[in-house]
Structure 1
Amino acid sequence: MKNMLKGLGAALCVALPLLAQAPAGAATPAVAGAADQALVPRGAYLAQLGDCAACHTAPKGKPFAGGLPMNTPMGRIYVTNITPDAQTGIGGYTEADFARALREGVAKDGHNLYPAMPYPSYAKVNDDDVKALYAFFMHGVAPVQQANRESDIKWPLNMRWPLMFWNMAFLQKGAYRDKPGKDVAWNRGAYLVQGLGHCGSCHTPRGVGFQESALDESGSAFLSGALLDGWFASNLTGEHNSGLGRWSDEDLRTFLKTGANRHASAFGAMTSVINNSTQALSDQDIAAMSAYLKSLPPVGGNGAAAYTYDPQATKVSLDRPANDAGARVYTAFCMHCHGVDGRGFAPMLAPLAGNPNVLAKDASSLINVTLNGTGDLVINGVPSPFPMPGFAAVLDDKQIADVLSFVRAGWNNGAPAVGAAEVAKLRQSTQAGR
């Protein structure tokens, strides 16, 4: 349910199938047959499921033409052109070339892709779905001649050959295989979450080699929440406070379809996932993903007791805001949307009482969204009427730390306080270049 980090327009790319031109003398990867054309709609659906547009379409750029900057621990990289242009895109790729890049992270010319491309997840995609994706990208996407941009990573860290050893250590090859003893819906959900959905790319902690600590439910860290590019991707296990333990199956299905429910609203990278991916999925696939996620045992959390709502102490503070710096900021800037009772006006305005993002041990997402706001959720073409605004230009670091500490303590949330130094650090990293 990814990223984490994007806000683009995937719907534009599936309007009309357009044939790409194959380079002279090459195998004919872009010559469409009737069977290929029949697969294009299926491939378009799978590309939405994988949220391919979120990374491969730059803001105001042409669909899938690349150019989007992405931050990595080593430096900034720029996502590549995956339109069927023969010179600058993947128009010369055969289906085997495409499958190797998708599932093994190796381009047609043999160079290794950075694992910012979630090929460890895509390794689980089955052959039929690879074939449909290939048909879509060759015959359902308009070719765009746009050269790829070199990364900003400095030598020697920009050398690609060490990634061969990274793959040897961390890449698990082989398409997903149904787990015995699990029903059809559970296995379908596991395939989507672990594979094209690549939820673990954002929601699973990374190890010392920037590898996901677990690739499926057999690893205890899987989907337990992770810090990525200034956001903390939520815990998706059954943990009661910061995870999905209090969410019903209906709550989760509603969130995946609309980006909001009685517990929380999407922000940051998840806004793009909702806008470009999950809202377009079939009800059957949404139900399967929910069934799988709801089966995951609780992991992580902040060690606090199971959350129960209690408004009394917070109400007293709000009645006397002069005595509490955080309460003063809350009454001036937050209360009209999120309420005296902290319950907001869900699903349009997110609750703060018991919100898993508020209860998370890591406050990065709260700091980030308070500083910078979030993009619009756009459901069925209609933007959300009340997006979260950014307060970076209005509130200083201490004021933001005060109000977030107030919120994290309020209504019995019991989460750790936020320091002004934490806010200053995230302000500096997220405001650079704005």
Structure 2
Amino acid sequence: MKTTLKGLAAALCAVLPFAAQVPAHAADQALVQRGAYVAKLGDCVACHTAPKGKPFAGGLPMNTPMGRIYTTNITPDQQTGIGSYSEADFARAMREGVAKDGHNLYPAMPYPSYAKVNDDDMKALYAYFMSGVAPVQQPNREPDIKWPLNMRWPLKFWNMVFLDKGVYQDKSGKDVAWNRGAYLIQGLGHCGSCHTPRGIAFQEKALDETGSAFLTGGVLDGWFASNLTGEHNVGLGRWNDQDLQAFLKTGANRHASAFGSMTSVINNSTQNMSDTDVAAMSAYLKSLPAAGGTGAPPYTFDPQATKVSLNRPANNAGARVYTAYCMHCHGVDGRGFAPMLAPLSGNPNVLEKDPSSLINVTLNGTEDLVIGGIPAPYPMPKYAPVLNDQQIADVLTFVRGGWNNGAPSVSAEDVAKLRKSTQAAK
């Protein structure tokens, strides 16, 4: 009996260390998997992957008011990536915009938003980048910013003024879904970095709903990122929860379709979010009161005057271009064939005072929305090689005035300026 007990004890001693290792390994893998989801919430791959480049190896050009910068290698490569970063180094770069060697990152890296990311998500994200991402040896490229604007030490003072440290804290009186949505929108989703206007120092004019400028739309890299408040015409005032959730999951709904950098957000981030997180984001956004906008009366659809112009296109330069190049997709009534083909009548991007996005998407088209691995069948083509500046100005003026849209006209000078800047960026 004693011999049997000794044998059993010996067997247990041999097995227990192995058994103890299994849950630890499983927990590590679970943390890495959770970090992969957190990385999708933050859409890290979109900025840190160059066209035809390897994932997270950096090199994507980004235009700023000071000049062009290039995103960095965030793979775990020891020499050129972040492989030597400790968890504390990683968190400092994410939340404070300070690299391991002490140099300050440009605020094109949305660290003012990532400052709100909680410790659990930061830990999971670090685990993913250290253990779930393949290392790529690719040196970082220096920014194309001339002296003295390329000096980084002034960014220390920028941080002192504009960086609000501290992770997101749940707001009392708000439910779980609202707080989760606020955390995702303000933090990991960093929606304000594009959709909030910036001040003279390139700072976001507001970082949460307590600021009147928050998510009222902003110009960035040749696009106007839409107003996300409850504003009736240019915002989400006419969108219900189903509309907004459909847009986040598929990039299109009965009101609009994604274009520009938002296409990448849909492709790499929001379509991969859980239904619960998408619903939380929608709940938060739909709670925001109307702000920004043009002050125009609430939009109502009226096709009559536009039908007359389209029946006699010879009398209207914009109508001539529209009938030749646009009408087969967007329709006589401007309602398109949503969600596959975007409507133009009442589209918030059409009604917006700033025409940058309309000019840009007409000139350069948009990348494919790829939902569940299937590309959208009818992406917007590029017309820069086909139409001159005056023709694009004419057709956009026609569209912005048609179907009771009532938006300002577009000039050939506006088109020429954006044509030059977007071609130079390629």
Q: Same fold (TM over 0.5)?
A: yes
- What is the distance in 1 between the residues matched to 2:318 and 2:70? 40
Report the counterpart of residue 382 of structure 2 in structure 1.
390
What one-letter code is carried by the residue in structure 1 that aligns with 2:66? Answer: M
Bigger mean CA deviation after superposition, 149-158 or 313-322: 149-158
* Counterpart AA for 1:236: L
Q: Which residue of 2 aligns with 1:194?
A: 186
CA offsets 1:72-94 (integer angstroms, 9 cap, x no match): 11111111111011111111111
CA deviation after TM superposition for structure 1 residue 433, in Å: 5.5
SS at match of 1:209: coil
Alignment of 1:373-388 (within 5 A): 373-388=365-380
Summarize deviations over 1:243-273 as a string: whole Å, max 9, x none. Answer: 0000000000000000000000000010000
1:290 to 234, 259, 282: 282
The aligned residue for residue 359 of structure 2 is 367
| Paired residue type of 1:228 | L
Partner of 1:210: 202
Give CA-to-partner distance per residue, 1:372-396, whole Å, 9 cap, x none.
1000000000000000001111111
Once residues 285 and 237 of structure 1 are traced to their aligned partners in structure 2, the CA distance between those partners, rounded to angstroms, is 19
1:169 corresponds to: 161
Aligned to 1:315: 307
CA distance in 1, matches of 2:84, 2:104: 17
By how many angstroms is 1:157 displaced?
1.1
In 2: Cα distance, 1:155 partner to 1:335 partner: 49
**Aligned 8 A contact 1:40 1:140 in 2:** yes
Find the aligned partners of 1:62 and 1:205 in 2 and give their Cα distance.
32
Residue matched to 1:24: none
In the alignment, the residues of structure 2 paired with residue 407 and residue 433 of structure 1 have an alpha-carbon distance, to the nearest angstrom, of 27
Give the equivalent residue in structure 1 for 2:240.
248
Distance 1:148 1:322 in 2: 54
Q: 1:55 corresponds to which residue?
A: 47
Letter in 2 for 1:128: D
1:280 maps to: 272
Which of 135, 139, 159 is the matching residue for 2:131?
Answer: 139
Say which of 52, 68, 92 aligns to 1:100.
Answer: 92
**CA shift at 1:34, angstroms?**
5.2
Q: Given residue 351 of structure 1, which amino acid in structure 2 is its aligned partner?
A: P
Partner of 1:357: 349
Pairing partner for 1:39 from 26, 31, 36: 31
The amino acid that maps onto 1:275 is N
1:226 matches 2:218: yes
Could you tell me how far apart the structure 2 residues matched to 1:87 and 1:183 are?
45
CA contact (8 A) 1:68 1:79 kept: yes
Matching residue's letter, 2:32: V
1:114: Cα distance to partner? 0.6
Distance 1:428 1:400 in 2: 14
Structure 2 counterpart of 1:156: 148
Map Cα deviations across residues 44-64 of structure 1 (whole Å, 9 max, x no partner): 001011000001111111110
* Counterpart code for 2:355: A
CA drift at 1:38: 2.3
SS at match of 1:62: coil
1:381 maps to a residue whose letter is G
Write the letter of the residue equivalent to 1:385: P
Residues 342 and 351 of structure 1 are in contact (CA less than 8 Å); yes or no, is this contact kept in structure 2? yes
Q: Which residue of 1 aligns with 2:321?
A: 329
Alignment match, 2:6: none
Cα RMSD for the two superposed structures:
0.9
User: Higher Cα Rg: structure 1 or 2?
Assistant: 2
The corresponding residue for 1:14 is none
Higher helix share: 2
Give the deviation of 1:33 after TM superposition: 5.8
Give the superposition deviation at 1:175: 0.3
1 CA distance for matches of 2:348 and 2:197? 17
Matched residue of 1:254: which SS?
Answer: helix
Q: Return the alpha-carbon distance in structure 2 between the equivalents of residues 337 and 69 of structure 1.
A: 32
Distance in 1 between residues matched to 2:127 and 2:352, nearest whole Å: 42
AA of the residue aligned to 1:343: R
Residue 92 of structure 2 aligns with an amino acid whose one-letter code is R
Counterpart residue identity of residue 94, structure 1 = S
Paired residues, what number?
A: 403
Write out per-residue CA displacement over residues 215-243 of structure 1, whole angstroms, 9 at most, x where no aligned residue: 00000000000011110000000000000
Q: CA deviation at 1:35?
A: 3.8
Unpaired stretches in structure 1, ≥5 consecutive residues: 1-31
The one-letter code of the counterpart of 2:348 is P
Q: Match of 1:93, as an amino acid?
A: Y
Distance 2:217 2:299 in 1: 18
Contact 1:302/1:415, CA 8 A, preserved across alignment: no
1:416 aligns with 2:415: no
Distance between the aligned counterparts of 1:299 and 1:116, measured in 2? 25
Aligned mates of 2:45, 2:272 — CA distance in 1: 13
**CA drift at 1:426:** 0.5
Task: Describe the superposition over 1:265-292 as per-residue Cα deviations: whole angstroms up to 9, x where unpaired.
Answer: 0000100000000000000000000000
- Matched residue SS, 2:395: helix
Whole-Å separation in 1 of the counterparts to 2:360 and 2:298:
26
* C-alpha distance in 1 between matches for 2:141 and 2:336: 44
- Alpha-carbon deviation of 1:146? 0.9
Question: Displacement of 1:335 after TM fit?
Answer: 0.3
Alignment-mate amino acid for residue 47 of structure 1:
A
Equivalence map 1:333-352=2 (5 Å)? 333-352=325-344
Distance, in Å, in 2 between the alignment partners of 1:433 and 1:156 is 22
Q: Distance in 2 between matches of 1:158 and 1:60?
A: 28
| TM-score, normalised via structure 1 length | 0.92
